[in-house]
């Protein structure tokens, strides 16, 4: 049951971070952008970049919450333990696809 609590807590944390990013703030939390030189930062629209990262974080939040629910069903015996592999595989595939889409979007649409 501890795994469900940890996953749920991480989902809640991701939801808070997503809200911060979607509001257009929190650019300092974006890896690579926060350490870039001012000349490099000037090439990007900070609000669009934050919103793109926030959208991806919201996507991760929803996927983690779904994994938390799947883990809960397994822990309570309502689902077979082998059935958890399917949501995990789907989560990994969607996560990789989301990263690729985010990378393409930020390089094409978030530049000034």
Question: Residue 84 and residue 70: Cα distance in Å, rounded?
Answer: 6
pTM for the structure as a whole: 0.84
Give the burial class of 12: count Cβ atoms within 10 A of its Cβ; 0-12 exposed, 13-18 middle, 19 or more buried. Answer: middle
Whole-number pLDDT of residue 83: 80
Q: Would you give per-residue pLDDT tens digits along the chain (112 residues)?
A: 898 899 999 999 999 999 999 998 989 899 888 899 999 989 999 999 999 999 999 999 999 999 899 889 988 888 888 888 888 899 999 999 999 999 999 999 988 8
Whole-number pLDDT of residue 85: 86
């Amino acid at each position: 049951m501890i795994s469900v609590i940890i996953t749920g807590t991480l989902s809640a944390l991701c939801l808070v971070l997503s809200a911060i990013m979607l509001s257009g703030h929190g650019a300092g939390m974006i890896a690579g952008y926060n350490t870039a030189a001012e000349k490099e930062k000037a090439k990007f629209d900070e609000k669009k970049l934050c919103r793109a990262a926030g959208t991806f974080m919201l996507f991760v939040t929803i996927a983690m919450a779904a994994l938390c629910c799947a883990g809960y069903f397994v822990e309570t015996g309502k689902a077979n333990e082998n059935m958890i592999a399917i949501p995990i595989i789907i989560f990994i595939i969607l996560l990789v696809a989301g990263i690729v889409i985010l990378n393409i979007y930020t390089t094409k649409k978030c530049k000034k």
